Amino acid sequence: MRYQANAQQWSVNDLRQLTQINYGRDARPILDPYGAYPVYGTAENNRYGTSYLYDGESIVLGRKGTIDRVQFVSGPFWTIDTAYFLSKFSACEPKWLYYVLSSIDLRGLNEATGVPSLAREVLYRLSVLTPSQPEQSKIAEVLSTVDRAIAQTEALIAKQQRIKTGLMQDLLTLGIDERGQLRTEATHAFKDSPLGRIPVEWEMAKLGDVAELNRGKFTHRPRDDARFYGGAYPFIQTGDVAANVGRWVNDFSQTLSIMGMHVSKEFPKGTIAITIAANIADTAILGRSMYFPDSVVGAVVKQPNSIRFIEMTIRSKKTALEQLAPKSAQSNINLETLRPLVISLPKPDEQARIASAYEADDDRQVSNERSLRKLRHLKTALMQDLLTGKVRVTPLLQPAKEATA
């Protein structure tokens, strides 16, 4: 960590001077899903036990394996034997030290040649720039406020995702009538179909009837030949689609040269990209023309059908398509699986209403995801500023001092 000149009045302490590092213990004897005490380790899964090792505010960090995971916890709790827990904080606020340790790349302290590990003596020698305890408390308070905002936004996004999933299910089975309302069997006529009950206005169709489907290609071998990359032609693969499921894809991490372009296949803006290998039936819509390898199929929707509606329909078939994939080392499907895929099809004007309802809901989630990115960026910037003394919280302490006076 770089120490700033305007924090010269802060002391520099080894971790040994600030806290005690304790080994966790094997939790197997006390594990119980109905236990009263949380069991912490290097994984994110929640476990419980019938006893505890420590009762109070603490910091848990990895000793072996995942050594870059730092957690602030409060007791009573148990810590497993592949992790440490900190206690006996001397002239040090636990929450402040948690943020300090979170700002350090602990992986850089790994001295093991096999499984990553953090030696306790190495941690004890770690130097920490240490302000006064009132300033530590205020730094922790500021960063905790941002953390709460992040957690609230994450919870809101998770709730929105659940709502959106339910909405998509309703839109694709009930549809939206001319008045903009979801249909119900109590108010509208439905009929039986191979896909279950659907509105009487809807028809059955094959995916190949409403979209032209073609596999991408990249015929040159070896695939990693550098001459075929680094040009002006956007090239996306299964990972890019999986990272943008249900969204418009405008960004790309790889490009093709003119040589690469000639051995690949271009798809126009508005094409639905469908993964057919490893990740089955992840879908995204191209925001600009791009090239694919043969692990991605491009579906160019035929007018007057809605691109968004067809994309939603394909995405809703993910589980069914996964089951159709041959059970092998790497699951995959092909055009012969996708083209005859049976879907339910409303009239184009209703497809447009369904697409608009879905995208309005998704836009709200996109806005909150944007807010979450800003909050995380703010936290990173604040940690760099506050924990190094580049920006001081001293002015925030003045009202408290004046009130005491």
Same domain, 209 and 337: yes
- Domain with residue 145: its CATH number is 1.10.287.1120
- What mean pLDDT do residues 187-213 have? 96
Same domain, 288 and 175: no
Q: Please give the residue that has the higher pLDDT: either 332 or 369.
A: 369
Structure confidence at residue 394 (pLDDT): 80
Report residue 3's pLDDT band, with 50, 70 and 90 as the boundaries: very low
- What mean pLDDT do residues 356-360 have? 96
Report residue 278's pLDDT band, with 50, 70 and 90 as the boundaries: confident
- What mean pLDDT do residues 374-400 have? 88
- What mean pLDDT do residues 383-401 have? 82
Q: Which domain holds residue 251?
A: 204-345
Q: Please give the residue that has the higher pLDDT: either 324 or 346.
A: 346
How far CA 380 is from CA of 22, 99, 139, 285, in Å, comes to 28, 11, 13, 32
Which among 345, 362, 387 is the end of a domain?
Answer: 345
Whole-prediction pTM: 0.84
- The 10s digit of each residue's pLDDT in 29-42 is 999 999 999 999 98
Same domain, 89 and 141: no
How far CA 240 is from CA of 104, 265, 291, in Å, comes to 30, 16, 12
Same domain, 331 and 283: yes
How far CA 3 is from CA of 98, 142, 385, 388, 390, in Å, comes to 18, 20, 10, 6, 8
- The 10s digit of each residue's pLDDT in 285-310 is 999 999 999 999 999 999 999 999 99
- What mean pLDDT do residues 172-178 have? 96
Structure confidence at residue 318 (pLDDT): 94
Residue 254 pLDDT more than 60?
Answer: yes
Which among 100, 130, 160 is the end of a domain?
Answer: 130
Same domain, 145 and 179: yes
Which among 99, 130, 161 is the end of a domain?
Answer: 130
CB 169 within 8 A of CB 316: yes
Cβ atoms < 10 Å from Cβ of 4: 16
Structure confidence at residue 396 (pLDDT): 75
CB 216 within 8 A of CB 293: yes
Cβ atoms < 10 Å from Cβ of 154: 15
Same domain, 366 and 352: yes
Same domain, 398 and 292: no
- What mean pLDDT do residues 107-117 have? 89
- How far, in Å, CA of 405 to CA of 200, rounded? 78
Residue 377 pLDDT more than 90?
Answer: yes
Same domain, 198 and 183: yes
Report residue 333's pLDDT band, with 50, 70 and 90 as the boundaries: confident
- The 10s digit of each residue's pLDDT in 115-138 is 999 999 999 999 999 999 999 999
Report residue 331's pLDDT band, with 50, 70 and 90 as the boundaries: low
- What mean pLDDT do residues 327-331 have? 61
Structure confidence at residue 2 (pLDDT): 45
Residue 336 pLDDT more than 70?
Answer: yes
Same domain, 196 and 213: no
Residue 186 pLDDT more than 80?
Answer: yes
- The 10s digit of each residue's pLDDT in 64-84 is 999 999 999 998 999 999 999
Report residue 7's pLDDT band, with 50, 70 and 90 as the boundaries: low
Q: In the chain, how many domains are there?
A: 3
Structure confidence at residue 113 (pLDDT): 82
- How far, in Å, CA of 383 to CA of 97, rounded? 12
- What mean pLDDT do residues 382-404 have? 78
- Domain with residue 323: its CATH number is 3.90.220.20
Residue 106 pLDDT more than 70?
Answer: yes
- What mean pLDDT do residues 180-206 have? 96
Report residue 5's pLDDT band, with 50, 70 and 90 as the boundaries: very low
Structure confidence at residue 329 (pLDDT): 52
- How far, in Å, CA of 359 to CA of 162, rounded? 15
Same domain, 147 and 215: no
Helix or strand holding residue 20 (H, E): strand 20-23
CB 117 within 8 A of CB 63: yes
Q: Is the peptide bond before 340 cis (omega within 30 degrees of 0)?
A: no
Same domain, 41 and 79: yes
User: What tokens appear for 6 in the block?
Assistant: 């305007």
CB 351 within 8 A of CB 313: no
Same domain, 236 and 191: no
